[in-house]
Structure 1
Amino acid sequence: MNKTVGSTLLVSGTMIGAGMLAMPLTSAGIGFTFTLVLLIVLWALLTCTALLFVEVYQTAEADAGIGTLAAQYFGRFGRVVATAVLLIFLYALLSAYVTGGGSILASTLPTIIDDNITSKVAIGLFTLFFGSFIIIGTRSVDGINRLLFFIMLATFIFVLFLMLPKVTMNNLMAMPIDNALLLSASPIFFTSFGFHGSIPSLNNYLQGNVKALRFSILTGSTITLVFYIIWQLSTHGVLSQTLFLQILQEDPTLNGLVNASLQITGSPILAQAVKIFSALALITSFLGVSLGLFECTEDLFKRSFNRYIGRFGLGFLTFLPPLLFAFFYPKGFVLALSYAGQMFAFYAVVLPVALVWKARQVHPNLPYRVIGGTPMLIIVLVLGVAITLIPFITRAGYLPQVAG
């Protein structure tokens, strides 16, 4: 039961991070009502696909990574494709967390030579300190995540206590400045429910207990949805759409969100509370995604030279690419999330549908099956492919860009 609680908090903590903090940045032009609809639809879709992974894991060893799972049903080609997509997705997502975490930490440090150097030092310190928990092991991640999650929850309640009295109905009733923004924002909102990369780690941690893993996913994702709805209610209700968009155009980072809170409400206490909450949300997500990426790297090399490079070597492979991205694109927070959303659509929708389709043919009498049968698989697949195509359509100029 203790591990189940820890896994539930890891599911929720992984999601409540960069995606949640990017929501006000990307939904400022959409309005609360349409944002609410988008949240519920994507939550239902991605909780369903996470449960598809649970169904497939009934047929594999508890310590099997996604590459191993794909190889079981689609051979070497399946392993290569699944591992490549997962790596790109997790590296992009981790790049967003490192960039966002460095941005917040840099704002608290004294200037070192210039802002650029300060930013790089902050990014390095953030990654080095919290990355060390990943290298130590899953138990250490569970411990620090529980502590940070409950501090984050207390901070969130305090933020709501300050923000909710300032909510106005006029702000909540704001309509989209462009209806097409709903489509443009969906890949980033999609990523906000992105804990799927951590499922292999959680399954291994829970020793293949299907009931516990299913409970963790359902409970953790529902907690997250409630967080998201209240967070959007607060930000949309307090922040005037026009002024919020103007501030974000000047600084499309988490610092921009904090500055927007300060300028619009005039409350430095609220701005500091938002900054603390943002930092904690980023750290818990950083831990969950880093753990998933570390396990994926370990699964990739476990048959070759894991014993030679050890956990420190795997840590180096895990954190170096996101660090390089953050150094060269210090304001690439939303950019990294958009690329992560693109890869995530394949990994979290197309891949589990394909695996379940094959698994049901090989194992027709599995104890646990996700409801909906073949029609549900087809609907999920169509939605996943559509979301994958949205960034291409946006870059081609047929859909508007979101703020940032």
Structure 2
Amino acid sequence: MPPQLADRHTRRLRRPATERTPEFDLSYARTGPRASTPVVVIPGGPGLGSLLPYLGFRRRAAQGGLDVIMVEHRGVGFSRADLRGRDLPASAMRISDVIDDIAAVLDHEGIGQAHIVGASYGTYLASAFGARYPERVAGMLLDSALQSAESLNLERHTVRELFWRGDTATAEVVHALIDQGVDSRILLDVARAAYELGGDELLLPVLRQRANHTHTAAWSALQLYATRDRSIVRFPGFYEFDLAGVIGFRELGYGGTPDGLPLDPALTYSEIADLFPAFAGEPFDLAAETPKFTWPLVLLVGTRDLRTPPPIARAVAATARDAVLVHIENGHSALESHPLALLNAIRALVRGREHALPGAAAAINRLPRRGLAARIPELLGAATLVESTIRP
């Protein structure tokens, strides 16, 4: 990424060469009023940028008095290349190295402890950071907790109970679409995204229109948004899965083995699996590490989350020493779809008021939704309404 595209808050930290990684500059941003214990926010992915996509998030965080640090993931955006401008190699893509990058930024900023916040894939990094650097963690917030590569069966059960086995209008239309020959992988991608973004109110009209027409604008938009194929492997500065995706496949099992049944989440990344290494095993046993966490832990749970279903967070809370579960009316990753909810939860954690969060869930749900992902249901709903008028 050209350095001139970075905003004025962007900083660079030289990372030394190792056996696996050439010397490169790691980029990060720190915004807001300085605090002795800032907040490190780790987005999802792997492959999501931390700098360009979250300018608005950091601005709102600063307005709310939060000192926020976001580190550009190695292999992405402003942290993509070595000093000669060459892409970092696949050997540099390891979770252990990513969390060492975060620790190096804290050292560079003279920070002893921080509140560690992760969303989706970022929750694995946050928990791994806690396991490796427990003395650096003042508190932790996991937004849509991903804690193990072994949650695939839970994902399967959740989506199939909702979309396939249930005696519902949704399941009826899904069966009809499968009978019509609609690709099961794409159907799951679209249905899951629509449900997470807008629930049945958005999902059902989209499915029904697809059943009646070969192509619809809403279906095509959701497919573009949700499908993981070669067309979205790289969107510079925002989503760059082509390098960082090595972590997803090698260490988190993104290339799962299909079970041969409809609506299998194991197929989500199947179109690009040949570009990445096979699963070699997880670098951390987070189920064994979580009971050792001594800090306050907040688990933000979307009631419509199908990618990291709520039982995952409940299992984490059951083993943690000091955990708070906060259920909000949302899909996957509040950082993307309901950032004001996440910011309010972060402020409660920073102020030591995290145990009041469950009682504030209704108020959090009433907060306005900001950001592009939050506007998608409104835009898709409008497209569906227009198409139903033109093509009943």
Bigger fraction of residues in helix: 1
Bigger fraction of residues in strand: 2
TM-score of the superposed pair, with normalisation by structure 1: 0.25
